[in-house]
Amino acid sequence: MKKGILVLLVSLGITTCLAQQQITLDLQQTIALANDSSLEAFRTKNMYLAGYWEYRTYKANRLPSLTLNMTPAQYNRDITKRYDSEQNLDIYRSQQSFYAYGNLAIRQNFDLTGGTFYLDTELGYMRSFGNNKSTQFTSVPVRVGYSQSLVGYNPFRWERKIEPLKYEKAKKEYLYNAEQVSEQATTYFFALAMAQAEYDLAKENAVSTDTLYRIGMQRLKIAAISRADLLTLKLDVVNARNTLQNAISSLKRAMFSLASFLNMEKNASIQVTLPGRPQTLVIPVDEALQAAQANNPQFLGLRQGVLEAERNVDKTRKESRFNASINASVGFNQVAEKFGEAYKHPMQQEMVSVSISVPLVDWGVRKGKYNMAKNNLNVVKTSARQNEIGIEEEVIMTVNDFNVQQDLVASAEEALDLAVLAYNETRQRFIIGKADINSLTLSLNRQQEAQRNYISALKDYWLNYYKIRKLTLHDFASGFSLSEKFDYNQY
């Protein structure tokens, strides 16, 4: 992470001092740093990796598994009850025995039916001590079998529907969160830009009011202004200095917030460069809606919720009836006193078992669970549709705001240019005595307000731009889908 910061900072031409870093950032560089090195970006990457490994686990479960089960040693020395056929009664006898067992099995799940095929081999060893010493080896050289729930719930079929959807959602959530990081970076960037502009205006105003006060003192000597006007100029000097101190504090706070978000040194001195007037870009509402429905991970999450609710209905419905399962296998086995003979002339082994469980009286427990699952499915479907409508409304409103915001940026830029010209003209007129103090103050306030409006218009434009990218995962400026170009490199 730190390496990524250093590489990017060097590319930005940053000069580093012993006490403080002097950094100049534009909006795109700020966003690049945020997506590379911020703690939020780190959290986003790890959230994606969790979903990635969950999907890898699902895929691995679809492959054959090889398992070794062993009981390397089991020693028994106890007194147990045995039947004595000669005396026709049960008696207690002491016994000593040693037992060892091993099983090597290959299993393959079958998604279509929910059953499991298996192929295994076994070897067992038993030795008895005492009066009747004996040694036996028992072997199953090979056995092939299949186990299946006949009318029960099939989790494999539902996993095949849900798990790929969950992974697709994880990928798009990664992109969604990355755009959300860009949105947050934009907010911090323009907060610093506003604080920086306020500081520049306050500093300029402090110098200007001091100059005007000195001019006022000279004009008072020739009775060109009244003493009340001079006191007003003095008050402006005091207010300007107070405003400058507040602006310095606000600038430091905004700078600290951006540095913390970008995971930089807290004493970094950051100066931002405002972006110019954005290019003309009109986003069709219909295209934005289509992109959102295809790419937005919230839509995928709603579909996942519906599938999981349908899975619960299927599970409770089948569990409310009788359960039946079958387990069948065919193979060979043998028993002998010597290890080598345990694999000679093996006998055929066959096993078929069918088990049935029929609920007779459960006082409506299974039926209640099934009805709960059905009602929950209806709730999930209704909530999903409501959320879909909410997302669609958000896309429509954001796109409409964005399309209008471009004109507002141009208008705010024009208003700022006019306000600067008007203030400079009024200031010159005041210096030569053709404008009063009220006109000068009003002109200064208009310039400051125009500066704030221009920065706010730029901020709203870029926030809407990245919000649209987040909601649709589509870059309308270049015309490509972010999800189609998904490429996560794990370091």
Report all structural domains of the chain as residue ranges with CATH numbers, in order of start.
23-57+160-307+373-489 (1.20.1600.10), 67-110+115-152+323-358 (no CATH)
Average pLDDT of the chain is 84
The mean pLDDT value for 289-305 works out to 91
Is 190 a residue whose pLDDT tops 90? yes
Does residue 203 contact residue 244 with C-beta atoms inside 8 Å?
yes
pLDDT of residue 430: 73
Residues near 388 by Cβ (< 8 Å), separated by ≥ 6?
Answer: 299, 302
Distances (CA, A) of 245 to 22, 240, 252, 453: 21, 9, 11, 22
Q: How many residues does the chain have?
A: 491
pLDDT range class, residue 281, cuts 50, 70, 90: confident
Report how far residue 214's alpha carbon sits from residue 220's, in angstroms, rounded to the nearest whole number.
10
Q: Name which of 47-61, 81-95, 372-386 the model is least confident about.
A: 81-95
The DSSP line for 300-319 is HHHHHHHHHHHHHHHHHHHH
pLDDT range class, residue 16, cuts 50, 70, 90: very low
Is 42 a residue whose pLDDT tops 70? yes
More confident residue, 146 or 370: 146
pLDDT of residue 438: 76
Does residue 457 contact residue 405 with C-beta atoms inside 8 Å?
yes
Is 440 a residue whose pLDDT tops 80? no
DSSP 361: -
pLDDT of residue 77: 80
Report how far residue 175's alpha carbon sits from residue 487's, in angstroms, rounded to the nearest whole number.
10
Tell me the pLDDT tens digit for each residue of 66-113. 899 999 998 888 787 777 777 788 888 777 889 999 999 999 888 777
Residue 357, number of CB atoms within 10 A of its CB: 11
Q: Name which of 298-307, 391-400, 402-411, 423-432 the model is least confident about.
A: 423-432
Q: Name which of 65-69, 459-463, 477-481 the model is least confident about.
A: 477-481
Distances (CA, A) of 487 to 248, 274, 350, 426: 43, 30, 52, 57
pLDDT of residue 6: 39
Is 386 a residue whose pLDDT tops 70? yes
pLDDT range class, residue 394, cuts 50, 70, 90: very high
Report how far residue 450's alpha carbon sits from residue 447's, in angstroms, rounded to the nearest whole number.
5
pLDDT of residue 245: 92
The DSSP line for 28-79 is HHHHHHHHHH-HHHHHHHHHHHHHHHHHHHHHHHTS-EEEEEEEEEEEEEEE
Is 313 a residue whose pLDDT tops 80? yes
The mean pLDDT value for 383-397 works out to 92
pLDDT of residue 375: 92
Q: Give the closest residue to 239 by CA, choosing from 448, 426, 379.
A: 448
pLDDT range class, residue 19, cuts 50, 70, 90: very low
More confident residue, 110 or 43: 43
pLDDT of residue 464: 92
Residues near 192 by Cβ (< 8 Å), separated by ≥ 6?
Answer: 251, 254, 255, 257, 258, 270, 272
Report how far residue 430's alpha carbon sits from residue 437's, in angstroms, rounded to the nearest whole number.
7
How far separated are the first and last CA of the chain, in Å rounded? 10
Report how far residue 106's alpha carbon sits from residue 63's, in angstroms, rounded to the nearest whole number.
10
The mean pLDDT value for 437-456 works out to 84
Q: Give the closest residue to 358 by CA, choosing from 311, 314, 326, 325.
A: 325
pLDDT range class, residue 231, cuts 50, 70, 90: confident
pLDDT of residue 328: 87
Residues near 358 by Cβ (< 8 Å), separated by ≥ 6?
Answer: 322
Distances (CA, A) of 55 to 48, 61, 281, 284: 11, 10, 39, 36
This prediction's pTM? 0.76
Report how far residue 355's alpha carbon sits from residue 337's, in angstroms, rounded to the nearest whole number.
35
pLDDT of residue 488: 59
Report how far residue 91's alpha carbon sits from residue 484's, in angstroms, rounded to the nearest whole number.
77
pLDDT of residue 11: 42
Q: Give the closest residue to 149 by CA, choosing from 387, 331, 373, 325.
A: 325
Q: Name which of 100-104, 349-353, 393-397 the model is least confident about.
A: 349-353
The mean pLDDT value for 267-287 works out to 87
Tell me the pLDDT tens digit for each residue of 140-168. 889 999 888 777 778 888 888 899 999 99
pLDDT range class, residue 367, cuts 50, 70, 90: confident
Considering the chain, what percentage of its residues have pLDDT values greater than 90? Answer: 27
Question: Residue 314 burial by CB count (10 A; 0-12/13-18/19+): exposed, middle or buried?
Answer: middle
pLDDT of residue 21: 58
Considering the chain, what percentage of its residues have pLDDT values greater than 70? Answer: 93
